[in-house]
């Protein structure tokens, strides 16, 4: 039995001389990609493999997370604060209307129908109208704040007009407070002007326009 015998099962493989190490594996030829190298257990990132999330460069891929600008966040918080205040005023107005109406009914029972009872019923009706007005405005404020995340240009324009009107109301209150020399009315007027101005400014700013024009995925 000889090592040169090609049929020898104990000899070296064909093409290998005795006493020499095995030849290295063939290298990829020109035009063929080399095998990807990476960490064990981590699939290579290439053609046919999913890309890392959050870095899509084509339509329909994973998009970077969108963050609301700081001025927009401030305006949204102010809308919720204004909405909560309007709800509180509306509830107080309803309670006031009910109290005035009960007092007018008690006066009619004691003194009969007179001019004071008519004034009381009219005042209760006006207070109820104010209550419904403030509750409606509260619903609008909260709805606008909620829609900031998914709304479009309609929400932006409505919020801008709402803020401008609120600032104008604050200016009228400020004029009345200056004439009446009331510090409480002055503070209330400044709050209205500040809140309305921030809302309108956030919608007019380029960041606000870009936010409501952003693509939705």
Q: Are residues 109 and 127 in the same domain?
A: yes
Confidence band, pLDDT 50/70/90 cuts, at residue 37: low
Q: Which of 142, 144, 153 is nearest to 214 (CA)?
A: 153
Distances (CA, A) of 214 to 74, 201, 210: 19, 19, 6
Dump pLDDT digits (tens) for 108-159: 767 666 677 778 878 888 999 999 999 999 999 999 999 988 888 899 999 9
Pair 141, 155 in one domain:
no
Express each pLDDT in 76-102 by its tens digit: 999 999 999 999 999 999 999 999 888
* Residues 123 and 167 occupy one common structural domain: no
177 and 136 in a common domain: no
Task: Tell me if 171 is assigned to some domain.
Answer: yes
In a domain, 54, yes or no: no
For 48-74, what is each residue's pLDDT tens digit?
444 444 434 444 444 444 788 888 899
Q: Among 111, 146, 181, identify where a domain stops.
A: 146
* Contact predicate 137/79, CB 8 Å: no
> Are the C-beta atoms of 94 and 101 separated by less than 8 Å?
no
Under 8 Å between Cβ of 82 and 140? no
For residue 126, being part of any structural domain is answered with yes
Whether residue 159 is found in the same domain as residue 204: yes
CA distance 69 to 198: 13
132 and 157 in a single domain? The answer is: no
Same domain, yes or no, for 197 and 133?
Answer: no
Domain ranges, residue 208: 150-217
Q: List all residues 6 or more positions away from 76 whose beta carbon is below 8 Å from its beta carbon.
A: 68, 145, 148
Residue 149's pLDDT is what? 85
Per DSSP, helices labelled H in the chain are: 70-111, 115-147, 153-180, 183-204, 206-212
pTM given for the model: 0.65
Long-range contacts of 205-210 (CB under 8 A, 24+ apart): 205/71, 207/69, 207/71, 207/72, 208/69, 208/71, 208/72, 208/156, 209/156
> Is 189 within the bounds of a domain?
yes
Within this chain, do residues 134 and 196 fall inside the same structural domain, yes or no?
Answer: no
Domain count, the chain: 2
On whether residue 18 sits in a domain, the answer given is: no
Domain presence at residue 17: no
The chain-wide mean pLDDT, for the chain, equals 76
Domain boundary among 129, 146, 163: 146
């Amino acid at each position: 039995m000889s090592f040169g015998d090609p049929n020898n099962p104990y000899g070296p493989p064909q093409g290998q001389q005795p006493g020499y190490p095995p030849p290295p594996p063939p290298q990829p030829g020109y035009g063929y990609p080399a095998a990807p190298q990476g960490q064990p257990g981590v699939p290579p990132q290439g053609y046919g493999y999913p890309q890392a999330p959050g870095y899509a460069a084509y339509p329909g891929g994973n998009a970077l997370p969108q963050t609301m600008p700081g001025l927009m966040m401030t305006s949204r918080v102010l809308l919720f604060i204004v909405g909560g205040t309007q709800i509180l005023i509306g509830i107080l107005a309803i309670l006031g209307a009910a109290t005035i109406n009960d007092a007018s009914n008690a006066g009619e029972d004691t003194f009969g129908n007179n001019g004071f009872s008519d004034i009381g019923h009219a005042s209760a009706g006006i207070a109820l109208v104010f209550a419904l007005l403030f509750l409606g405005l509260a619903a609008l404020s909260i709805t606008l704040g909620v829609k900031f995340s998914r709304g479009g240009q309609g929400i932006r324009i409505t919020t801008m007009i709402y803020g401008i009107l609120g600032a104008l109301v604050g200016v009228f209150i400020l004029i009345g407070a200056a004439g009446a020399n009331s510090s409480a009315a002055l503070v209330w007027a400044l709050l209205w002007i500040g809140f309305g101005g921030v809302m309108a400014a956030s919608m007019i700013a380029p960041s606000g326009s870009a936010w409501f024009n952003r693509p939705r995925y």
